[in-house]
Amino acid sequence: MRRLRRTTINKEEERKRFKALYEGILTLRNKEECAAFLRDLCTMQELEDLAERFAIAKLLAKEVTYRGISGDTGASTTTVSRVSHWYHHGTGGYRTVISRMHK
């Protein structure tokens, strides 16, 4: 999703932008508002990529094999491997969301 920029921003400005995005997301009250915001924010391809990664993470949580996940989602095993890396060694975001969805 990251593109090359003609101009670069400093790390502090980038941090401020991320913070504003996270705070904006936290203001959403329901699925409809979330869907509308994400559709305005992302291209269809970006949304499809995000949805695919999340579907992969949910299957990883169920301990489905890479090949099984690839077959179920249509994602390449390379994509499954990348998501698996972040699922197992990332900051815990996938696990937090998936566990809260199952409560």
Residues 6+ apart with CB under 8 A from 76: 70
pLDDT band at residue 41 using 50, 70 and 90 as cut-offs: very high
Task: Assess whether pLDDT exceeds 70 at residue 2.
Answer: no
Which has the higher per-residue pLDDT, 42 or 7? 42
52 and 100 co-located in one domain: yes
Helix 93-101 crosses helix 44-61 at what angle (to 10 degrees)?
A: 80
Average the pLDDT over each of 6-10, 65-69, 82-86 and give the range with the smallest value.
Answer: 6-10
Question: What is the pLDDT at residue 4?
Answer: 61
Task: Assess whether pLDDT exceeds 70 at residue 5.
Answer: no
In a domain, 3, yes or no: no
79 and 100 co-located in one domain: yes
In a domain, 67, yes or no: yes
- pLDDT tens digits, 66-79: 999 999 999 999 99
Here the CATH number for the domain that contains residue 52 is 1.10.1270.10
